[in-house]
């Protein structure tokens, strides 16, 4: 197994959008709240518009870990401070940093809809964008897992600003994997532009602890993976 050297820029990516995820962004609780026919119609309208506007792009880069600590890793001269990552990931020998985005066109359309006071469609389209970029980040996690196979086990993704990982850690992550290759920038407050972007980190190693917060395989898009650890249960399929 050889991990791809240097940054990988991926465009023209398959992208599936999970309606349940979009409705979750709208405040619906899965298994409890049932959307009305009007809401379903609004979702379909926003989905069609979103598909037209999205341009998924990803940049990802693998690098060897030079030092592991209970609360961080050192990679390529960068020190990433990540609470409890040592016990959560175990013995990782490599990390991959990635930045993904669906581009800025959807956000511009949402702003125009707000200004035109088309609020329900604006809100639903914004949720479609949020669902899409989450789906893209999961696709990237699956892709990185596939790149590590068969000898490396790849962990679940984590992102600065989520859980206990400080958002300021966007800076070392962006130094490891600059987002400008796909048009994603970071401001002084560590907020990404376009807004519908996600940065992430995974670890990999022969003895890495995987699935530390959910089963990656259970919703992975890769149909015929010989290394699958759990049967697929999600309905989303991208390939
Ligand atoms: S099925 Fe599981 S092991 Fe195979 S690529 Fe997907 S997440 Fe990785």
Mean pLDDT across the chain = 92
Q: What band does 231 get if pLDDT is binned at 50, 70 and 90? A: confident
In this structure, which residue's CA is closest to atom 7 in ligand 1?
217
Give the single-character DSSP code of 152.
Answer: -
Structure tokens at 88: 């959560």
Q: How far is the CA of 220 from the centre of ligand 1 (A)?
A: 6
Helical spans, DSSP H, in 33-191: 37-53, 85-89, 105-115, 119-148, 170-176
**Is pLDDT at 171 greater than 90 in this prediction?**
yes
pLDDT for the residue 143: 93
57-69 and 153-154: which strand pairing?
unpaired
| DSSP per-residue codes, 178-236 | -GGGGT-EE-TT--EESSSEEEEEEEEETEE---SSS-TGGG-S-TT-TT-SS----S-
Ligand 1 pocket residue status of 227, Cβ below 6 Å:
yes
pLDDT for the residue 239: 43
CB-CB contact of 118 with 45 (8 Å)? no
What average pLDDT does this structure show over 181-201?
97
pLDDT for the residue 16: 79
Q: How far is the CA of 116 from the centre of ligand 1 (A)?
A: 44
What average pLDDT does this structure show over 63-71?
96
pLDDT tens string 139-153: 999 999 999 999 999
Q: How far is the CA of 85 from the centre of ligand 1 (A)?
A: 21
94-101 and 153-154: which strand pairing?
unpaired
pTM value is: 0.93
Q: Which of 6-15, 126-135, 146-155 has the lowest mean pLDDT?
A: 6-15
Q: How far is the CA of 186 from the centre of ligand 1 (A)?
A: 31
In this structure, which residue's CA is closest to atom 5 in ligand 1?
146
């Amino acid at each position: 197994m050889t991990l791809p050297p240097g940054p990988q820029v991926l465009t023209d990516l398959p992208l599936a959008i999970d309606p349940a995820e979009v409705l979750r962004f709208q405040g619906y609780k899965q298994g409890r709240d049932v959307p009305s026919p009007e809401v379903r119609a609004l979702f379909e309208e926003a989905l069609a518009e979103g598909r037209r506007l999205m341009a998924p792009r990803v940049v990802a880069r693998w690098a060897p870990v030079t030092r592991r600590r209970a609360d961080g890793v050192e990679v390529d001269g960068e020190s990433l401070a990540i609470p409890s990552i040592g016990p959560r990931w175990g013995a990782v020998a490599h990390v991959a940093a990635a930045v993904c985005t669906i581009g800025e066109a959807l956000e511009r359309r949402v702003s125009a809809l707000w200004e035109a006071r088309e609020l329900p469609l604006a809100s639903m389209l914004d949720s479609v964008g949020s669902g899409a970029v989450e789906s893209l980040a999961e696709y990237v996690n699956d892709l990185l897992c596939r790149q590590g196979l068969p000898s490396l086990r790849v962990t679940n993704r984590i992102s600065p600003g989520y859980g206990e990982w400080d958002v300021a850690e966007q800076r070392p992550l962006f130094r490891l994997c600059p987002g400008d290759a796909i048009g994603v920038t970071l401001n002084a407050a560590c907020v990404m532009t376009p807004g519908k972007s996600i940065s992430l980190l995974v670890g990999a190693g022969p003895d890495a602890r995987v699935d530390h917060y959910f089963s990656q395989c259970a919703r992975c898009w890769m149909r015929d993976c010989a290394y699958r650890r759990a049967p697929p249960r999600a309905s989303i399929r991208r390939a």
